[in-house]
Amino acid sequence: MTRYLFRRLFLMAFVFLALSLLAFSLSYLFPGDIVQNISGLRQIDEAQRQQLVSYYQLEHNVLAQYLAFLQRIAHGDWGLSFASQQPLLQEIKLLLPATLELAAYALLLSFIVGIPLGIIAAFKPHNLIGKSISALALVGYSLPIFWWGLLLIMLFSLALGWLPSAGRIGVLYEIPHHSGFILYDILQADVKYRIEALHNALQHLLLPTVVLATFPTTVMIRFVRDAMLNVWEQNYIKTARAKGLSRGQVLYRHGLRNALLPVIRQIGLQFSTLITLAMLTEVIFSWPGIGRWLIDSIYQRNYPAIQAGLLVISTLVIAVNMLTEILHALFNPLARRG
């Protein structure tokens, strides 16, 4: 296991190296003035420029500039946003939890819904239930998320008026910012209307979560179904059945454990898609997360923000990928050898 971990970490170091090189080169590739692109300052006078050039080591060679860049990233000096002239790291810290929260609930929902449905579909592959689950999974898989989100807003917000159409919580509820995770913040908040606020926040969460969960759920259903069908054909299942274990016992003790192993790995692989979809969902529902911010930044040609956003999101995706790989290896001794 130690060797495996070591090997993984070594690989990760290379990935990060490549990522940081890409992020570093962006400042040079973006149009405009390099000092502005790095610092994010809009108006730079001559004296300030001199100071910045030496701070960013711009008079030295590229290697020195790259090392200076790494140092700044490590120290949390990520420059300013063109649009707001606020430190980028601070902005990201405020926004990232909203995205993580949405993605986490959607992922959770996709497990809770996808795994049982996948198992059912695997058990009854030929009858109506199994077939309709598979069909639905296929349709859900190919749904354009933008259209689906708007459709749900039309139905539940505009036509029926049951659920709000945008935001994280009704703006009249004032919840102090602690962690940035809205449900946790509400529980931590010292306000009289905690229950109402929680109810309101859940209402706001419902539609975006369902929309974002659609894709991973269908992936989960298909994956669990295939893995289950595969495992069910294995000899040890037949043996267990022959020994007289009931279907339920076999399913729980032998089937599920083995079928779900690849699912763990699947989470890591799906995570990047999930984050991409989360960005779209944030735009549709005006969810104040990092995805909407990044898309706005692209519109505004806010180069420092694009750079920082890419760095954060790619780091996140790589880290989650790595984590699930390691988890997978923990549960599955076979993977450690590979």
Partner 1 sequence: MNLFTRHCGSSINSAALICACLWLCGCQPQMPETVRSGLVYCSEGSPESFNPQLVTSGTTIDIISQQLYDRLVDIDPDTGSIVAGLASSWQVSADGTHYQFTLRDKVSFHSSSYFTPSRPFTAEDVAFTFNRITDPLHPFHLQGGGIYPYFQSVDWASLVKQVQAVDDHTVVFKLQRPDSSFLSNLTTDFAAILSAEYGAQLLSQGQPGQIDRLPIGTGPFRFREYQKDILVRLYRNNNYWRGNTQPEQLVFDIVPNNARRMAKLFTHECDIVSYPRVAELELIAKRDDVTVQESTSMNVGFWAFNTQKPPFDQLAVRQALGMAINRAAIMQAVYYGHATPAYGILPPTSWAYNEGLPAPVYSPARARALLAEAGYPNGFSMDIWAMPVQRLYNPNALKMAELMQADLAQIGIKANIVSYEWNSFRQKLGNYEHDSVLIGWAADNPDPDNFFRPLLSCAARDSGSNRANWCDPAFDEIISNALLTADQQQRRALYLSAQQYLHQQQPLVAIAHSQRFQAISSSVSGVNINPYGGIALQQARRVTP
- State which of residues 141, 146, 181, 193 lies at the interface with partner 1 (CB under 8 A): 193
98 binds partner 1 (CB under 8 A): no
223 binds partner 1 (CB under 8 A): no
Q: Site for partner 1 (CB under 8 A): how many residues?
A: 40
Which one of 2-10, 60-68, 147-155, 314-322 is the stretch in contact with partner 1 (CB under 8 A)? 147-155
- State which of residues 34, 68, 143, 318 lies at the interface with partner 1 (CB under 8 A): 143
Minimal distance in Å, beta carbon 44 to partner 1? 17
237 binds partner 1 (CB under 8 A): no
Which one of 19-27, 46-54, 164-172, 236-244 is the stretch in contact with partner 1 (CB under 8 A)? 164-172
- State which of residues 87, 125, 130, 167 lies at the interface with partner 1 (CB under 8 A): 167
- State which of residues 47, 74, 128, 195 lies at the interface with partner 1 (CB under 8 A): 195
199 binds partner 1 (CB under 8 A): yes
Q: Could you give the string, one character per residue 272-291, with x where binding to partner 1 holds by CB under 8 A and - elsewhere?
A: --------------x-x---
172 binds partner 1 (CB under 8 A): yes
Query: Which one, 33 or 174, has the nearer CB to partner 1?
Result: 174
227 binds partner 1 (CB under 8 A): no
Q: How far apart are CA 45 and CA 36, in angstroms?
A: 11
128 binds partner 1 (CB under 8 A): no
Sign of CA dihedral 146, 151, 156, 158: positive
Minimal distance in Å, beta carbon 189 to partner 1? 13
38 binds partner 1 (CB under 8 A): no
- State which of residues 84, 179, 239, 273 lies at the interface with partner 1 (CB under 8 A): 84
